[in-house]
Structure 1
Amino acid sequence: MADFGEILEAIGDFGVFQKLLLFALCFPNLILPFQLASLVFNHADTNHHCNTDWILQVGPNLTREEQLNLTLPRLEDGSFDPCQMFVPVDWSLAAIREYGLNETSTCIHGWVHNDTIYEATIVTDFDLVCENVNVFRGGQTVFFAGVLVGAILFGPFAESFGRKRATQIPMVLMLIFTVVSGLSPNIYIYLVSQFITGVALGGFRINSIILATEWIGVAQRSYAACLSQVLAALGQVMFLAVVYFIRNWRIDQFIMAGPLAFVVIYIWFLPESARWLLDRGRATDAKKLIQKAAAINKHPVPQALLEEVLKEKIVEKGGVKILFASRVLRKYFFTLTFAWGAINLAYYSLSLNVGKFGPDIFLNQLIFGLSEIPVHFLCMWSLEAVGRKPSLMVALILGGSLCLLTLAVPLSDAIVSGVLATCGRFLMNAAGSICNVYFQELFPTSVRQTATGLGSTASRAASMLSPVVNMLEMYHYSIPTVLISSLAIASGIMAFLLPETRHTELPNSTEEAEGKRKPKMTRVASSEDIKGTKL
């Protein structure tokens, strides 16, 4: 029986149709990093202290330094206490100078933010300092929790309602709540909007890659995951330029909304996955899309082959039950999920320590963004030249080993340890792309999105643990490094249990995914093959 891969060979498995689709689905990845990077820049803390302008009523000619010296207590290191002030008194300036103020309290009249870097952040606008600092710290957690929920919700959603809807709805939500974030009158509306934005980001990421992958042939299948990561790295650099010149978080939110609106307009014209339509028994709709793709690629589709592929078949049902009922699929799922979780734990643990590599946050972010671009081009080459399995094993084991080597470097040598940790971080980033490709190639169409969504959920949960892991350094500086390195190396060894999927057709059924009916090795159709095809 013919399969969908043969149709792609005939109509062109990486023609104009696929390239346009790939670009349309990867373009938003230039914008998505704006949401993530805003957690670093728009949430930036400031050098703040209590508002003590009350003393200017009795001493209007006081200099700034004199005002602070008279009204603020000092910490042990000699700096002003950012969260305490001397209680205001009804004395003359002379009496205050002579006797001084002793009784302290929390900031009665709010705070003054001495920010020399940013014009406005959520910290300055909502006074997220001192007793409110926990609300500020929770903002990042709320966003990542939303990403996790998005992966949970839109995985099964895509299996039931299609890949197309599962990419369109998140983009609409992201546009709406990016604007709502910028208009937020208080921190609570901001947190709600950030949560929904996170849900949208998590849903779009996993579904857009699979929609592109299911239309692309075996030779270029890894492009969807890796190209999206390349554009994400470029997006980090673009957002850095925006924040560098416009240091007001509300304006930055509206700037983000502009390209999102463009995406929302064109995304409604994207095609559904023909594989998914066939899996759902919607052969007529799948036929129309195949013919449309063939027309755009200017390759004729053999009618006999098309009818063979479109023959009615049994639709696999059961959703997540299929995934866990199969011993083989269960093994693949837990092996990949463990690897993806270890990758995210290591990547974000290292990323959150960006400040250790130098005092200039803009320069650090620029280096991180630019240096990730060649990593994913290397990843694309490795996946096709070497294969999925060895690429994943090498990235995880070598990346974990490089991180572990930082413990052998003296603490005083920050440059060497920083280079080792950064190289380890880049390899973890590449390993994440490989896991994304592997998830699509190991599981059948009926549960491909569900498996990816659940795996992404587990990886997001691991990323949320990264701040906790970094806190373990209070017991010994080596504990976080040993933990993330050991998990990465262990997951790299476990990847030996996975099969190689390079240049194999995507499995359409559980039987194919289990290897009981080996997926067909597919080659890219040559021009002679196309010319010789008869209708």
Structure 2
Amino acid sequence: MRCAKVNFWTRTSGLRCHRSGPAGMTFDALLDEVGAFGPFQVLLVVLMASSRLVLPCNLLLNNFIGAVPPHRCKVARWNATTASAVPLGDDGLPQACGTFVRPPSLVAGNQSEATPTVPCLHGWIYDNSTFSSTIATEWDLVCERKHLPQTINIIFFLGLMLGSLLFGLLSDKWVPESARWLCANAQVEKAHLYLNKCARANKRPELASKDIVEALSSAGKSKKSKKYTFLHLFKTPKLRKISLVSGIAWYGTAVTYYGISLNLSGFGLSVYLTHFVYAAVEVPARLLIYFLINRIGRRPCLVGTLVLTATCIGVNIFVPEDVWQLRSAVAILGKGLSEASATTIILYTHELYPTVLRQTGLGFTSVLSRVGVSVAPLVLFLEDVWSVLPQVVLCVGAFFCGLLAMLLPETLDLKLPETVQDVETPACSKGQEDVPLETKNTT
């Protein structure tokens, strides 16, 4: 009986040799044989990234097609006499949603304070210097109907949530599962097929026998009959805590990110420039996270970015609107930090759930994030109650989610969990991430 070649193993000890293949081989070691990151994986990344190039255009399109430009009541005959028919606001500009019953100049004593006002009777005049036409100007979605543009946003995001649920279920029938998932679920034939496909694309030798892949199905025949559902996310203590905390964190991160992204006014800049800067700051934010996440860990990055986002939102509550330079700088920093938190939680969540429930867990957190996205426009409605209430809600929510994320386990330098047992009783520690659980104590 011959043992497996040494290059099949990485940082393992006490491993047994079998005639049919290395029974204690880890999937990561096997993946190294077929190419852990080669042309095959690069192609997958490019295909998945291509959809991300157009997706943000749809998600934030309502910032432009639903914009509400400055407006005032239309007066039937506008001249020097009737010009005073529209009352002025505190800023000296015509009010947007009211007109005098009669111009004050036609009232005895010109007592404008005593002149009653009524809603606009003949429609509105819009400032077309920034937007030539929007849904607000086309259908007069202003004043009593000013919430309708954001309502359209809510309907769009609800459709996005339902679509992700529906097509997520359908994609299970169309898209091949990963070889790691197939191995964890004892589907050896498919895993062998996909690993050899990966090896050919990466110009690496194919696996001659499926016995090597079969060795990874450590649970034996019993695993074949094991079916996991959504309920398994809450059946065990540690996985239940991960599901609840990560779900709330995804919800809070989505509300904060889109609450900032959908609020482009009040910074002294044009909508187009504000949107461009908001988008541009995401590039260095993501690069910084990719640098920090492997040095200080996933949990500190998530906690830190959420708390700092809350701090930026809180600071802008107290900065006067006429100090627009400072407000813009703080808002841009907060937008970058909110993007950093979103990037972190996506990477982090993949490592929290075991392989047998990873897609289920990601689906659960994704749905909660879609709920958060749908709620974000509703938060902006709160400005009718108090002008800074939306910022207060976003600030408190981001801060709470940041503190809550401290309950999640750190995953830096740890082996990806394969089973629920790996999450509940982790046997691998830092520096031993490739040691198979079933052979850790063998000699």
Q: Same fold (TM over 0.5)?
A: yes
AA partner of residue 506 (structure 1): L
Taking a change above 3 Å as real, the CA distance of residues 274 and 113 of structure 1, as seen in their structure-2 partners, is same
Report what 2:179 is aligned to: 274
Alignment of 1:158-307 (within 5 A): 160-161=172-173, 164=175, 272-279=177-184, 281-302=186-207, 303=209, 305-307=212-214
Return 2-11 or 284-293, whichever deviates more: 2-11
Return 381-390 or 366-375, whichever deviates more: 381-390
AA partner of residue 75 (structure 1): P
* Per-residue Cα deviation, 1:101-153 (whole angstroms, up to 9, x for no partner): x9988667x77766333344333455545665554332111111122323444
Residue ranges of structure 1 left out of the alignment (5+ in a row): 56-64, 87-101, 165-270, 524-535
AA partner of residue 179 (structure 2): A
- 1:21 aligned to which of 38, 44, 48: 44
Taking a change above 3 Å as real, the CA distance of residues 105 and 426 of structure 1, as seen in their structure-2 partners, is closer
- 2:86 aligned to which of 74, 83, 91: 74
Counterpart Cα distance in 2 of 1:146 and 1:306: 41
Counterpart Cα distance in 2 of 1:384 and 1:80: 54
Residue 521 in structure 1 maps to residue 425 in structure 2: no
State whether residues 286 and 340 of structure 2, in contact with CA within 8 Å, keep that contact through their aligned partners in structure 1. yes
Q: Measure how far apart 1:467 and its partner are.
A: 4.1
Report what 1:329 is aligned to: 239
Taking a change above 3 Å as real, the CA distance of residues 141 and 17 of structure 1, as seen in their structure-2 partners, is same
Counterpart Cα distance in 2 of 1:353 and 1:81: 20
Report what 2:27 is aligned to: 4
- 2:163 aligned to which of 150, 175, 187: 150
AA partner of residue 422 (structure 1): I
Residue ranges of structure 2 left out of the alignment (5+ in a row): 1-23, 102-115, 436-443
- 1:436 aligned to which of 339, 346, 353: 346
Report what 1:460 is aligned to: 370
Report what 1:506 is aligned to: 416
Taking a change above 3 Å as real, the CA distance of residues 299 and 503 of structure 1, as seen in their structure-2 partners, is farther
Counterpart Cα distance in 2 of 1:367 and 1:19: 29
Report what 2:112 is aligned to: none
How many residue pairs match? The answer is: 389
Question: Identity of aligned pairs, percent?
Answer: 28
Taking a change above 3 Å as real, the CA distance of residues 281 and 457 of structure 1, as seen in their structure-2 partners, is same
Counterpart Cα distance in 1 of 2:188 and 2:258: 43
Taking a change above 3 Å as real, the CA distance of residues 50 and 400 of structure 1, as seen in their structure-2 partners, is closer
* Per-residue Cα deviation, 1:502-528 (whole angstroms, up to 9, x for no partner): 2333322111222344486149xxxxx
Q: Measure how far apart 1:22 and its partner are.
A: 0.5
Taking a change above 3 Å as real, the CA distance of residues 337 and 131 of structure 1, as seen in their structure-2 partners, is same
AA partner of residue 273 (structure 1): S
Counterpart Cα distance in 1 of 2:326 and 2:83: 45
Residue 497 in structure 1 maps to residue 407 in structure 2: yes
Report what 2:289 is aligned to: 379
Counterpart Cα distance in 2 of 1:340 and 1:479: 22
AA partner of residue 161 (structure 1): K
Counterpart Cα distance in 1 of 2:96 and 2:341: 45
Counterpart Cα distance in 2 of 1:84 and 1:283: 75
Secondary structure in structure 2 of the residue aligned to 1:356 = coil
Report what 1:341 is aligned to: 251
Taking a change above 3 Å as real, the CA distance of residues 467 and 141 of structure 1, as seen in their structure-2 partners, is closer
State whether residues 15 and 297 of structure 1, in contact with CA within 8 Å, keep that contact through their aligned partners in structure 2. yes
Return 118-127 or 388-397, whichever deviates more: 118-127
Report what 1:368 is aligned to: 278
State whether residues 98 and 117 of structure 2, in contact with CA within 8 Å, keep that contact through their aligned partners in structure 1. no
Residue 32 in structure 1 maps to residue 55 in structure 2: yes
Q: Measure how far apart 1:483 and its partner are.
A: 4.0
Counterpart Cα distance in 2 of 1:52 and 1:420: 41
* Per-residue Cα deviation, 1:385-406 (whole angstroms, up to 9, x for no partner): 2221222222223333343344
Scaled by the length of structure 2, the TM-score of the pair is: 0.74
Q: Measure how far apart 1:36 and its partner are.
A: 1.8
Secondary structure in structure 1 of the residue aligned to 2:281 = helix
AA partner of residue 79 (structure 1): P
Secondary structure in structure 2 of the residue aligned to 1:6 = helix
Secondary structure in structure 1 of the residue aligned to 2:293 = helix
Counterpart Cα distance in 1 of 2:53 and 2:343: 16
Q: Measure how far apart 1:2 and its partner are.
A: 3.1
